[in-house]
A and B are shown apart, each in its own frame.
Chain A
Amino acid sequence: MSRPTLPGPRADLAPTPSQTVGPFYGYALPFLGGGDIAPAGHPETVTLHGYVLDGAGTPVPDAVIEVWQPAPDGSRDGAPGSMRRDPVDGAFIGRNGLVFTGFGRVDTDADGHFAVRTLPPGGVPYVSLAVFARGLLHHLYTRAYLHDASGLTTDPLLAALPAERRATLVTTPERAGVHRFDIRLQGDAPHEETVFLDFG
């Protein structure tokens, strides 16, 4: 079989458009241990959880949340092994319990709820999130700023927002190590729409 040939680098190729993730990703994208970003049993583990809600305040049961963040030491290199596989039967076998890959992926359950367990990121006060859903034609980026992270009060992105907008990006403490972070895809008065980000 011939393989596609290689054109030379060109400036500013036109991008491939986005399309919705649709309703049937469930047997393709989620994987065992997708929300277990922290190595098993790590004492610093924090839980980040919440609901994805639509413009009527109804939970969205068919959304996918991806997480990307630095390791606790501030490294942004990531590591393979998020979706480690059994070479015998191809099954997902979970992470190896040692490596921090920085990447997680979970889908919302029938209640529109998601949860990941991770370690606080080093160097920045936030965990980066991408949101995909049936009905969402182009994914959205947001950030969960951990309410107890150092650097929260000096973060320029947060500082530039009015208080009610800023509040949508900061987690709510529930109990020790448990952060609540709801994502509102559309404002539902009086609830504020989550701030979503554009990286150009």
Chain B
Amino acid sequence: MTTPLTQGDITAEIHEAHQRYAGHLTAGGPVRPHPDRDYAPYRSSVLRHPKRPLLPTGDPEAVELTGPVFGVTDVTELDSDLVRQHPGEPLGERITVTGRVLDRSGRPVRGQLVEIWQANASGRYAHQRDQHPAPLDPNFTGVGRCLTDDQGVYSFVTVKPGAYPWRNHTNAWRPAHIHFSLFGSAFAQRLITQMYFPGDPLFAYDPILQSVTDDAARDRLVATYDHDLSTPEWSLGYRWDIVLDGPSATWIEEGR
């Protein structure tokens, strides 16, 4: 039987990966804004990443330079308000999360679908496979959708999710986060990611967040508390802007 992995083991591996990336930058290597798919501190990645390099495709006629569209039939008004989806009020700290979805040129991504899902305030997902012994909340499912407006703005009302344990190693805990799914104008801009809350003491221990080894890139996954977005007697406000990666703007234009 193998010895159970401790947080110390994982923290040491996280540190080593950061050191390797620092060396890569020092040697003049390019900034890597995304996680390496091969990131052993997150143990589930070990058998689930390709070992061969991706095949570059410079084809300006590629189908992936266009993408799916969504409209008013795909989203209902209640979808963006996760605290009104049940007869009663969910428990927890009510929050507003809003921001803009932009492409790398800073252009707003208009009328596109934003999807979120999250644990409840106790750190439990409304998912049968989540067996964390924290209470389910009958008034909270934790799923939301909206379309961005003409400025690329999305907005959700929800409750702040709780941290929760997982089994990557002994005493592994995920920092509180909201899962986000985003579409751009090109399928090649597709993004699924997670938004974190500022000042969470669990950041340094979490191999999923730390898989983004670039410090500035990792910081971009953390929302900002914005007092101007807080609503008196109602909710606290967080701001999180999202920039979709993908083919350069000129390439996308050529592909149209």
A interface with B by C-beta (< 8 Å):
1-4, 6-29, 54-56, 58, 60, 66, 68-70, 76-85, 87, 90, 101-103, 121, 124, 126, 128, 130, 132-141, 156-157, 161, 185-187, 193-200
Smallest CB–CB gap between B59 and chain A, Å? 7
> Which of B7-15, B18-26, B87-95, B237-245 has 4 or more CB atoms under 8 Å from chain A?
B237-245
Q: Which residues from B are CB-within-8-Å of A157?
A: 55, 57, 59
Complex alpha-carbon distance, A87 and B153, angstroms:
23
Smallest CB–CB gap between A30 and chain B, Å? 11
Q: Which residues from A are CB-within-8-Å of B209?
A: 19
Smallest CB–CB gap between A174 and chain B, Å? 24
B interface with A by C-beta (< 8 Å):
33-37, 39, 42, 44-52, 54-59, 62-76, 78-79, 85, 96, 98-100, 102-108, 115-117, 119, 125-127, 129-130, 141-143, 151, 153, 155, 179, 181, 186-188, 190-194, 208-209, 211-212, 214, 216-218, 220-221, 228-229, 231, 237, 239, 241-248, 251
Smallest CB–CB gap between B114 and chain A, Å? 12
Which of B85, B187, B211, B243 meets A14, CB within 8 Å? B243
Complex alpha-carbon distance, A132 and B186, angstroms:
17
Interface of A (DSSP majority class): loop
A-B contact pairs, 9 of them (CB 8 A): A15-B244, A17-B212, A17-B214, A77-B66, A80-B74, A85-B73, A103-B68, A137-B34, A200-B251
Q: Is the CB of A21 within 8 A of B63?
A: no
Complex alpha-carbon distance, A193 and B211, angstroms:
23
Q: Is the CB of A200 within 8 A of B71?
A: no
Smallest CB–CB gap between B50 and chain A, Å? 5
Q: Is the CB of A16 within 8 A of B245?
A: yes
Smallest CB–CB gap between B132 and chain A, Å? 11
Q: Is the CB of A10 within 8 A of B220?
A: no
Q: Which residues from B are CB-within-8-Å of A18?
A: 34-35, 191-193
Smallest CB–CB gap between A25 and chain B, Å? 6
4 more A-B residue pairs beyond the given contacts A1-B229, A17-B221, A25-B179, with a C-beta to C-beta distance below 8 A: A2-B228, A12-B105, A14-B220, A16-B193
Smallest CB–CB gap between A139 and chain B, Å? 6
Q: Which 9 pairs, one residue from A and one from B, show the smallest C-beta to C-beta distance?
A: A80-B71, A135-B44, A28-B117, A103-B68, A15-B245, A198-B54, A199-B188, A135-B48, A137-B35
